[in-house]
């Protein structure tokens, strides 16, 4: 018989507060067209993107995270000292170690909170939310801060016609805490590593370490290109539209609701065509508010869902207590979907 005492966590978990940060610089499509042969009409028709935000030197991954987190903590009505864990999802923190979460936890003023990074691409927020829910219910932390943050402008090849217009920067954060009712549903998540090549970094970091320049890509000026994100657009589009709609439906089923019970749909802000196709495939009723933040924010990977959630609540398009389906999907290929009650 085990001598270990059972955990004493909360019965359930909920999102208590949300915050977002968008860099001050707004970049229209006209700027992107300076380096690729395309048009504003083509970019809008293919992606729905009109503008995106790019970070300045001062708007670092840590700085953006702290701004978004401060808003989320205030919205939750708690203090930073009460945060028991900080989970950061990002692919654009370039120091291999230590985790950027440790710096963020310290600068926010937490009481030595557990802190770690996860790399799950555009599904990273869903992964972090699931981990946070587990910690709250298990009892290892009463309040968990989940951050999705990216500076994808650092990983964008501005000469790549297929991706140059897609990516933006920003940070979104939520506080997850105890609840007497189930307000974060079961997560439907997974990976399809056989499709890993459809979204990837162009060059691994060790290519720079071995000094073999012949293995490195060059730009139009003959200079070595910094690693960037590349993707097979059509393959990703088909996968997202057809397979992720199935995952979204599974999340509804797992939560014990139907699309008619939804108030809000917040998919990863990858592409407007993907969003609209998923809405059609899921047959969402007209009363469901759909996040389309991608138009002015671009694809911010792990930050896209909390940023879209924050904007919907701030503009009154969604309200506290609404039932929302959230789904993230991307590089890996990985995905995560769940139903939540909005804070």
Determine which one of 53, 93, 268, 271 is catalytic. Answer: 268
144: phi then psi, degrees, rounded to nearest 5:
-125, 135
Give CA–CA dist 156/153, Å, rounded: 5
* E strands, 140-236, in order: 143-151, 169-179, 188-191, 199-201, 229-231
Cα 250 to Cα 117: distance, rounded to the nearest angstrom: 27
How many Å apart are CA 173 and CA 71, to the nearest integer? Answer: 8
Closest among 25, 43, 47, 45 to 34, alpha carbons compared: 43
Residue 268 annotated to the active site? yes
Q: Which regions of the chain does DSSP assign to beta strands (E)?
A: 12-21, 25-28, 51-54, 83-89, 114-118, 143-151, 169-179, 188-191, 199-201, 229-231, 264-267, 289-290, 323-330, 334-341
The yes-or-no answer on residue 287 being catalytic is: no
Residue 23 CA to residue 44 CA, distance in Å, equals 21
Residue 174 in contact with residue 72, Cβ under 8 Å?
Answer: yes
Q: Is 180 exposed, middle or buried (0-12, 13-18, 19+ CB in 10 A)?
A: exposed
Q: Which of 53, 93, 122, 271 is catalytic?
A: 122
What separation, in Å, do the N-terminal and C-terminal C-alpha atoms of the chain show?
A: 41
> 3-state SS of 37-68?
CCCHHHHHHHHCCCEEEECCCCCCHHHHHHHH
What length does the chain have?
343
271 is catalytic: no
Active site residues: 122, 268, 299
């Amino acid at each position: 018989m085990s001598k270990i005492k059972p955990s004493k966590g909360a019965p359930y978990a909920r999102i208590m507060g949300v915050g977002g940060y968008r860099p001050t610089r707004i970049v229209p499509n006209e700027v992107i067209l300076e380096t690729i042969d395309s048009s504003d009409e083509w970019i809008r028709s293919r992606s729905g993107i009109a503008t995106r935000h790019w970070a300045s030197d001062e708007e670092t991954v840590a700085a953006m995270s702290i701004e978004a987190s401060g808003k989320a903590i205030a919205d939750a009505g708690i203090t930073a000292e009460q945060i028991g864990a900080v989970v950061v999802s990002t692919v654009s923190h370039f120091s291999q170690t230590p985790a950027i979460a440790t710096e963020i936890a310290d600068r926010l003023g937490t009481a030595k909170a557990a802190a770690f990074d996860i790399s799950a691409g555009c599904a990273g927020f869903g992964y972090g939310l699931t981990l946070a829910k587990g910690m709250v219910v298990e009892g290892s932390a009463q309040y968990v801060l989940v951050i999705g943050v990216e500076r994808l402008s650092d990983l964008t090849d501005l000469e790549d016609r297929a991706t140059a217009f897609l990516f933006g920067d920003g940070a979104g954060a939520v506080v997850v805490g105890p609840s007497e009712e189930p307000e974060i549903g079961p997560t439907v998540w997974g990976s399809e590593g056989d499709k890993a090549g459809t979204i990837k970094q162009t060059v691994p970091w060790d290519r720079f370490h071995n000094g073999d320049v012949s293995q490195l890509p060059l730009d139009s000026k003959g200079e070595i290109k910094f690693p960037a994100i590349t993707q097979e657009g059509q393959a990703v589009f088909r996968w997202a539209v057809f397979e992720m709609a199935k995952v979204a439906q599974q999340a509804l089923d797992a939560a014990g609701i139907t699309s008619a019970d939804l108030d809000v749909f917040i998919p990863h802000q990858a592409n407007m065509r993907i969003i609209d196709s998923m809405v059609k495939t899921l047959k969402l009723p007209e009363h469901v508010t759909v996040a389309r933040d991608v138009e002015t924010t671009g694809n911010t990977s792990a930050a896209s869902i909390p940023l879209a959630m924050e904007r919907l609540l701030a503009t009154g398009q969604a309200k506290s207590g609404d039932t929302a389906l959230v789904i993230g999907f991307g590089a890996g290929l990985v995905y995560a979907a769940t139903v939540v009650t909005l804070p």
